[in-house]
């Protein structure tokens, strides 16, 4: 297992998915816990690197209490790493296994809709909304995983010196995200 990434010390692995691994880390500069998300495909796939940068830039533009905050992006050689707010709690997918009340469901839904409205106000469409991408903390609901997010306009770039197109990484007839 990795020991450090930049000035972040890796403490333990907290999750792994098809796209990458998430670790609990310690920020030596600011003396706080963080989530360290590595992307498995970044070394091999130009498309995966593009998705990673889309996630980082999309998250960085959003300031909303129901959206997970991005703190930093690190490039070490071919590796790309996101430094995120560390969340304590459980995914909505895990919580649904034990059942929720109608009142809880409405409260969660209201917070998810608030997060989606903040994204849409910035021209960002999440495109992978599912229970495992919603995290329940004691302070509220957080929307996660912006790897498939898509900007609906050119404000996505936000760097006036960059003239690159915001063309989609997907094409008609192709499914992205979790089909079910």
Q: Which tens digits make up the pLDDT trace of 18-36?
A: 778 899 999 999 999 999 9
Sheet with 140-143: list strands edge to edge.
89-91, 134-137, 140-143
Domain check: are 75 and 119 in the same one?
Answer: no
| Domain count for the chain | 2
Residue positions annotated with a catalytic role: 128
* Confidence (pTM): 0.77
Q: How many CB atoms lie under 10 A from the CB of residue 16?
A: 12
25: Cα separation from own chain's centroid: 16
Domain check: are 146 and 118 in the same one?
Answer: yes
Domain check: are 18 and 81 in the same one?
Answer: yes
Find the helix or strand (DSSP H, E) in which 121 lies.
Answer: helix 102-121
Q: Which tens digits make up the pLDDT trace of 89-145?
A: 999 999 999 999 999 999 999 999 999 999 889 888 877 789 998 999 999 999 987
Residues 6+ apart with CB under 8 A from 43: 78, 79
Q: Which domain holds residue 118?
A: 89-156
Domain check: are 12 and 79 in the same one?
Answer: yes
Q: Where do we find the tokens 């690159």?
A: 164
Domain check: are 22 and 70 in the same one?
Answer: yes
Q: How does strand 20-27 pair with strand 32-39?
A: antiparallel
């Amino acid at each position: 297992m990795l020991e450090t990434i930049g000035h972040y010390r890796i403490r333990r692995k907290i999750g792994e998915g098809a796209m990458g691994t998430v670790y609990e880390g310690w920020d030596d500069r600011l003396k706080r816990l963080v989530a360290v998300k590595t992307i498995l495909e970044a070394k091999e796939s130009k498309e995966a690197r593009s998705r990673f940068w889309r996630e980082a830039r999309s998250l960085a533009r959003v300031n909303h209490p129901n959206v997970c905050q991005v703190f930093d992006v690190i490039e070490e050689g071919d590796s790309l790493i996101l430094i995120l707010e560390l969340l304590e709690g459980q995914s909505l997918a895990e919580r649904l296994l034990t059942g929720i009340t109608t009142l809880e469901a409405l409260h969660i839904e209201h917070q998810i809709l608030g997060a989606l409205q903040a994204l849409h106000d910035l021209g960002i469409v999440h495109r992978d909304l599912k229970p495992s991408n919603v995290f329940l903390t004691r302070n509220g609901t957080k929307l996660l995983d912006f790897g498939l997010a898509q900007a609906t306009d050119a404000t996505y770039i936000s760097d006036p010196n960059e003239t690159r197109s915001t063309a989609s990484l997907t094409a008609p007839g192709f499914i992205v995200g979790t089909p079910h």
